[in-house]
Chains A and B, each alone.
Chain A
Amino acid sequence: MAVSTKDKPVSVQPIQKEQILKVNNLEIFYGEKRAVNGISMDIDKKGITALIGPSGCGKSTFLRSINRMNDLIPGARAEGEILYEDVNLLSKDVNVVALRKEIGMVFQKPNPFPKSIYNNITHALKFSGIRKKSKLDEIVEESLRKAALWDEVKDRLHKSALSLSGGQQQRLCIARTIAMKPAVMLLDEPSSALDPISNAKVEELILELKKDYSIIIVTHNMQQASRISDKTAFFLSGDLIEYDITENVFTNPSEKKTEEYISGRFG
């Protein structure tokens, strides 16, 4: 038997990917209060980035700043840069309506319009100038298929969206976002209000969607973050504490605070 004693650590190689967003020294304020303390991070193209952290840590504030949803909150302002195709999304010159077409969002609580399933998807399309019935039909079917909802609703497209279950409503909201063909999808706790089966369906869907979209998801569900994301960012009190490949974050985080949070020691 060979008897030499050698240490041979097995290391994990980081995944090198193209980036879709570059965040530089982003600070976000609500009035005098600073909610995000100058964070910098790159977001991978066609990957799933999970933002985790206890309530009030700044993760949702950061998420909402990407498509300027914070503009709707009086007193909210952002400094620094969020670069998308070399444009700083925080710039006053950015057309916010066009931006939200490129960077779509799905919220925690399913919020379909009180319209038919069909019209939920076509509403924004019509606004953006698509009027031809055959084109609209095509996009409705394509979006519902991508959102894994088509088979369940194809025979009742003109029934009210409010007749759908919570899980179906959330997938409809995802379909509605897909219809605009965004480059980035922002998901703010998209399945926290759903039952386990609906949650599983939404997770499967998100994994499917990353083939075509760059996805950023805020979640309080640690298992969800560990199951579906490629990278995980841990926020605490407005700081970005750790940002790494999800596997590393959940098996061997480099920061003690991250370990305490993901293992449920606080938060």
Chain B
Amino acid sequence: MNTRSNFDSSLKQLKDMSLEMARLSEIAVKEAMDALIRQDLEKAKQVIEADNVIDELEFKIDDKATLMIATQSPVAKDLRKILVGLKISSEVERIADQAVNIAKSALHIGKEKHIKEIVDIPKMMDMALEMLNEALKAFYTEDAALARKCAEKDDAVDEMYGRLVQELLGYIPEKPSSTNQITQLSFVCRYIERIADHTTNIAENVIFLVTGKRYDLNT
């Protein structure tokens, strides 16, 4: 017999809130990238404004977790579920902040004609978001093996980041008047690389949740 069904449903709600927050952050990243590519400044502004919804959700998660710790005396895996819920929501919030950063870069570039068609940056974003989806799936299903597999992909994102920035900087001598745009696009690469790092942290937290042991995958 489960003697703590109320507590269990609160734990589930906490997890659902983190996942909902992650879903909104993923949308924000995609929208910001779309705004950048299509030079849709209105959309970029909307991404920036919508970030407060994600921030508020994080506060709600904090409050719920605090109340559960204060009233339920959680131990062992119950406690890890709450701690990991808090940590994942914090990582997700920072992913959403990277979406805001991308949107801000889109505004900085404005309507200035792109130095070339932007193809590789969205590919890099797809890699980072694929990692995020895997990490979230691992969180949802409490699958440590999947979390490890997801974290391994961070290397490929890092490698692509290095390559794209090199390529972008190579355009500066050729198009010195576009230095601002090139710098902003390099920043965007950096923001995506950070999304993959936050995702790796999420994967580490999933492994901690499942095994109770800490792993450093982000080295």
Contacts and interface: CB of A to CB of B under 8 A. Distances in A.
Interface string A1-16: 1111111111100000
Interface stretch (B95-103, B120-128, B148-156): B148-156
Nearest to A252: B212
Main secondary structure of the interface of A (DSSP, over half): loop
B76 interface: yes
Interface string B151-163: 1101100110000
Contacts of B155: 3-5
Contacts of B2: 265
A55 interface: no
Contact of A263 (B78, B152, B159): B78
Contact of A250 (B7, B76, B151, B214): B76
A144 B12 CA distance: 50
Interface in B160-174: none
A55 to B, nearest CB: 14
A142 interface: no
Interface residues of B, number: 28
A10 B215 CA distance: 7
A10 B75 contact: no
B206 to A, nearest CB: 13
Contacts of A127: none
B77 interface: yes
B75 A250 contact: yes
A226 interface: yes
Given A3-B158, A3-B159, A10-B213, A265 B4 contact: yes
B147 to A, nearest CB: 11
Nearest to A250: B75
For A1, A6, A226, which residue has the most chain B Cβ atoms within 10 angstroms? A1
B27 interface: no
A6 B200 CA distance: 12
A11 B151 CA distance: 21
Given A3-B154, A5-B151, A262 B75 contact: yes
Given A7-B148, A252-B212, A2 B76 contact: no
A3 B211 CA distance: 24
Interface of A: 1-11, 222-223, 226, 250-253, 259, 262-266
Task: List 5 A-B pairs, minimum CB-CB distance, nearest first.
Answer: A252-B212, A3-B155, A9-B213, A3-B158, A10-B214
30 contacts: A3-B154, A3-B158, A3-B159, A5-B151, A5-B152, A5-B155, A5-B217, A5-B219, A6-B217, A6-B219, A7-B215, A10-B214, A222-B75, A223-B73, A226-B75, A250-B75, A251-B79, A251-B212, A252-B211, A252-B212, A259-B76, A259-B77, A262-B76, A263-B4, A263-B74, A263-B75, A263-B77, A265-B4, A266-B1, A266-B3
Interface of B: 1-4, 7, 73-80, 148, 151-152, 154-155, 158-159, 211-217, 219
